[in-house]
Amino acid sequence: MIGRDTIAAIATPPGIGGIGVIRISGTAAEGIARRLFRAARPLEAFLSHHLYHGEIVAPETGAVLDDVLVTLMKGPHTYTGEDTLEINCHGGPMILRTVLAEVVQAGARPAARGEFTKRAFLNGRLDLSQAEAVLDMITAKTPEGAAAAVNRRMGKLSGRIEAIRNAVINLLAGIEAAIDFAEDDGVVEATGTNLPAFQAVIDDLHSLAATYRRGRLIREGISVVIAGRPNVGKSSLLNRILGEKRAIVNPIPGTTRDFIEETVNIGGIPVRLTDTAGIHDPENSIEKEGIDLLWERLVTADVVLLLLDGSMALTPVDREVLVQMQARLLIPVINKSDLPQQLDEKMLRDLLPEGTPATVRISAKYGDGIDRLTEAIHEMILATPAEEMPAESIADLRHKVALEKAAECLGRARKGLYDGLPSELAALEVREALDSLGEITGRTTSEEVLDRIFANFCVGK
pLDDT at 49: 95
Kindly tell me if the per-residue pLDDT of 75 is higher than 80: yes
pLDDT computed for residue 276 by the predictor: 83
What is the pLDDT at residue 399?
96
Please state whether beta strands 64-73 and 50-57 pair in parallel, antiparallel, or not at all (unpaired): antiparallel
Q: In what order do the strands lie in the sheet containing 330-335?
A: 260-266, 269-275, 222-227, 303-309, 330-335, 360-361
The answer as to whether 117 is a domain residue is yes
Residue 360 counted as domain residue:
yes
Chain mean pLDDT for the chain: 87
- Whether residue 446 lies inside any domain: the answer is no
| Residue 460 resides in a domain | no
pLDDT band at 323 (very low <50, low <70, confident <90, very high): confident
The Cα 79–Cα 89 span in angstroms is: 20
Q: Is 25 in contact with 7 (CB distance < 8 Å)? A: yes
CATH number at 284 reads 3.40.50.300
Across the range 98-116, mean pLDDT stands at 96
Best mean pLDDT range from 42-46, 96-100, 278-282:
96-100
Asked if residue 341 and residue 227 are part of one domain, the reply reads: yes
Residues whose CB falls within 8 Å of the CB of residue 379, separated by 6 or more in sequence, listed in order: 357, 385
- Statement to judge: residues 306 and 411 lie in one domain: no
First-to-final CA distance of the chain: 18
In this prediction, residue 190 has a pLDDT band, given cuts at 50, 70 and 90, of very low
Strand partners, 403: none
pLDDT of 245 > 70? The answer is no
| Whether residue 292 has pLDDT greater than 90 | no
Asked whether residue 291 is domain-assigned, the answer is: yes
Structural domain contains residue 177: yes
- As a whole number of angstroms, the distance between CA 305 and CA 183 comes to 69
pLDDT at 312: 92
Name 97's Cβ contacts closer than 8 Å, sequence gap at least 6. 10
Average confidence (pLDDT) over 431-455? 90
Residue 186 belongs to domain spanning: 133-211+393-441
Taking the C-alpha atoms of residue 121 and residue 115, their distance in angstroms, rounded to an integer, is: 10
Instruction: Identify the pLDDT of residue 318.
Output: 86
Same domain, 49 and 84: yes
pLDDT at 11: 95
